[in-house]
Amino acid sequence: MKKNSFFILIFHCVVFISLAFAQDEQKTTTETDTLQYQTDEVVVTGTRTNKKIIDIPYSVIRLSNKTYKYDRKTSISDVLNTVPGVFMQNRYGNHDVRISIRGFGSRSNTGIRGVRILLDGIPESEPDGQTRIEAIDFNSIGSIEIVKGNSSSLYTNAPGGVVNFINDINFPNNFLVLFNDIGSYQLRRNGFKTGIRTDDYSFLATYTYHNYKGYREHSEDYWHILNTVLETNPGKNTNVQFLGYFTTGLIRLPGSLTKQEYEEDPFMAAQREKDFDFRRISKKGRIALRLNSKFGEMLNNEVEITIYGTIKYFERTQRNYRIFNRYGLGSSVRFTNKSVLFGNKENEFSIGGDLFYQTGPIEDYNNINGKKGDILNTLVDETIGNSGLFIQNIFELYGKRFYLLLSGRYDNVYFDQKDQLLAVRSDIRRFEAFTPKAALNYKITPSISAYTSLGLSFDSPAGNELDNYPLSSNNGSTLLNPDLKPQKSKNFEIGIKGNIVEFDQKYFGKTFFELTFFNSTIEDEIVPFEIYGDVYYRNSAQTTRRGIEFGGRTDIIEGLHLILSYTYSNFKYDNYDAASIDLDSLGSITTQKKDFSGNYVPSVPEHNLTTALEYEHYFNYELTGFIKTSLQYVSGLFVNDANTDKTEDYSLLGATIGFDYKLGKINILLSTGLNNILDKRYVGFVNINSTNGRFYEAGEPRTFFASIHLGYTF
């Protein structure tokens, strides 16, 4: 992006905020009591306190499923693409998606790291912080909470933030919806969603079958996903939820390409991946019970207790054939007290803790042309657990508008691997840390606030990141890498946000905006590298990340919405002396010391801009029409720590049109659209630090989708 374009973007940001302030100033001088903001914007679990977004002293976004009801919903990027500070790279549809928030998560070449993923407030993330999101069904989700930036004072392994997907249990009437989606490359999604509400309970069930050939060779996948929620209120101020899901499916992996292969045919599969039929077969399920109760004379005390169990079966074929069998047990407890101190100062105190224990065997066989060999090479019993205790206090400093937040968390993450065939290779590693955070929030008006925070974060290595390799300090003699250390950081942010609603104003009647500057200094950043296609991890020395996030949504006139999301990222290695591992002309591994200090962090764009224009028109009570056009611009990404190559910038244009028709109790929702209308060829995923130069994976070409949802309310 040209420099003048960058300044134009900043200018638009300033104008956007100025309009918001102008609206608010006009209202306060004429009719102050009419100032309103959306009272339903409450984050329940993501921040571990029940607060309106305007009262939270850091950046938080809450999306309703209404914001994407006409869109394609096969991938998380279809839903979260307009959230500033969040950058996603999809490898194979919605699987192995890389979610990066302020650079945290950009290191992962498989799964999600550095960002805590929750489903109904319960960790989808493993005890070590790694996450795959096969169980997330966007047809079932009612809202999504995105907490951006350091959340380590509240959650384990959450330096980048928290994404909480919440099932749609708060429906008003009984209903049944049948949905059918089709699209390019033989995309088929079918299923149902039903909700039943009585005076005593609410029940939600959603089932989805997904089948997709994929736009790359050897990239087909299919999934069955079942989600259920049963909610009841045994007492006036007590709520109980039973939650469960089960998902099973298969995905084939086309692998990364060299630059020559990518330029020849970006949609081909790597030959090795085809020869050995690289794929993953997954089965996973969870059941949970949650109790929430308020008590006290003013209902100023709240306790929440959650217990859950998980099962996971996982086959992964790469150069070897690995089978994982795991079960897990977890719980979380939170107590909150709201009180008045020093006569008239509001105070909210919370304390709580989390436990998550997961164990099971890992079997390793030879991969013989995609088939499991007969000889068991290794058998490892792996146990991963985390335990943590957090405390948080929010105190009113001045006049019901200036608040101080103090929070802190102690974490204990441990790995215990026992080799059942060769006991000498068994190993245990443990990582502990205390991560405090302090934040201030000042409400300039009831609908605009300024905030700042300063805190520490802690991110332990994941289980796969601890895999030992032949060139470690003990030459690979144990199962766990003895050299890999946890990643720690100091995080600062300052920002302003507002949510202004003026119902009697014709133009810009509803406006939401946020502008945030952040700075993080990371010690011992964990980065991936490859040896003969196998991924391992090491620590760099120190990294500085600075950036600006701007997001806004405004109603230009009734029904016409402008959405803007922009992130500027300047992430560099300050000090990084590394052993560079390469292949010589004979194919042998060579190592040499290299200095990467001053280089840019790979897989993070300097500029990420998304803008969309939506128009929703009510023809009459029965019929609503919708049309949207969107544009995303992403600047080039470096592919490795050495910055030897960089992908090209790309821009993606999309369009969606839909109709929502109500005929008595029957509802018909139709939508169709095109993504990447100009059929731009671009690198959609960077496989970081590949020793043999396999960095490149093609992004999605031009694709068509269409949906029909048939609903009945009873």
Res. 45 pLDDT band, cuts 50 70 90: low
Residue 23 predicted with pLDDT over 50: no
* Mean pLDDT to the nearest integer, 680-694: 90
CB 255 within 8 A of CB 270: yes
Side-chain-facing half-sphere of 19: CA atoms under 13 Å? 22
Residue 2 predicted with pLDDT over 80: no
Q: How many C-beta atoms lie closer than 10 Å to residue 346's C-beta?
A: 14
Task: Please name the residues in contact with 335: beta carbons below 8 A apart, sequence gap of 6 or more.
Answer: 301, 302, 303, 304, 350, 351, 352
* Mean pLDDT to the nearest integer, 331-335: 96
Share of the chain above pLDDT 90, in %: 71
Look at strands 161-167 and 115-119 and give their pairing.
Answer: parallel
Res. 94 pLDDT band, cuts 50 70 90: low
Res. 588 pLDDT band, cuts 50 70 90: low
What residue segments make up the domains of the chain, in order of their start?
3-713
Give the Cα separation of 113 and 90 in Å (integer). 14
CB 626 within 8 A of CB 604: no
CB 167 within 8 A of CB 691: no
Res. 118 pLDDT band, cuts 50 70 90: very high
Task: Please name the residues in contact with 109: beta carbons below 8 A apart, sequence gap of 6 or more.
Answer: 528, 535, 687, 688
Residue 4 predicted with pLDDT over 70: no
Q: Which pLDDT value is given to residue 29?
A: 37
Give the Cα separation of 287 and 35 in Å (integer). 43
Q: Which pLDDT value is given to residue 22?
A: 42
Residue 290 predicted with pLDDT over 90: yes
Residue 349 predicted with pLDDT over 70: yes
Q: Which pLDDT value is given to residue 498?
A: 92
Q: Which pLDDT value is given to residue 591?
A: 65
Sequence letter at residue 54:
I
pLDDT tens-digit readout, 499-537 = 888 877 888 888 999 999 999 999 998 887 766 667 788
Q: How many C-beta atoms lie closer than 10 Å to residue 553's C-beta?
A: 19
Instruction: Output 560 or 91, whichever has higher pLDDT.
Output: 560
Closest CA to 569 of 518, 515, 503, 642: 518
pTM reported for the whole predicted model? 0.90
Q: Which pLDDT value is given to residue 536?
A: 82
Instruction: Output 44 or 565, whichever has higher pLDDT.
Output: 565
Res. 97 pLDDT band, cuts 50 70 90: confident
Least confident of 77-81, 247-251, 361-365: 77-81
Give the Cα separation of 450 and 532 in Å (integer). 50
Side-chain-facing half-sphere of 373: CA atoms under 13 Å? 18
* Angle, CA 73 vertex, CA 67 and CA 77 arms, to 5°: 85
Least confident of 2-11, 59-68, 364-373, 388-397: 2-11
Res. 468 pLDDT band, cuts 50 70 90: confident
Give the Cα separation of 377 and 422 in Å (integer). 10
| Sign of the Cα pseudo-torsion (261, 213, 82, 640, in order) | negative
Instruction: Output 65 or 19, whichever has higher pLDDT.
Output: 65
Q: Transcribe 318-333 into DSSP letters.
A: SSEEEEEEEEEEEEEE
The structure tokens 């493993």 sit at 126
Give the Å distances, CA to CA, from 214 to 210, 270, 703: 12, 15, 11
Residue 549 predicted with pLDDT over 70: yes
The domain 3-713 is placed in CATH, from the list 2.40.170.20, 3.30.559.10, 3.40.1590.10, 2.40.50.140, at 2.40.170.20
* Mean pLDDT to the nearest integer, 244-269: 95
Q: Which pLDDT value is given to residue 151?
A: 93
Give the Cα separation of 443 and 459 in Å (integer). 32
Q: Among the ranges 56-60, 565-569, 590-594, which has the highest mean pLDDT value?
A: 565-569
- For the chain, give the mean pLDDT: 88
Instruction: Output 575 or 20, whichever has higher pLDDT.
Output: 575
Share of the chain above pLDDT 70, in %: 90
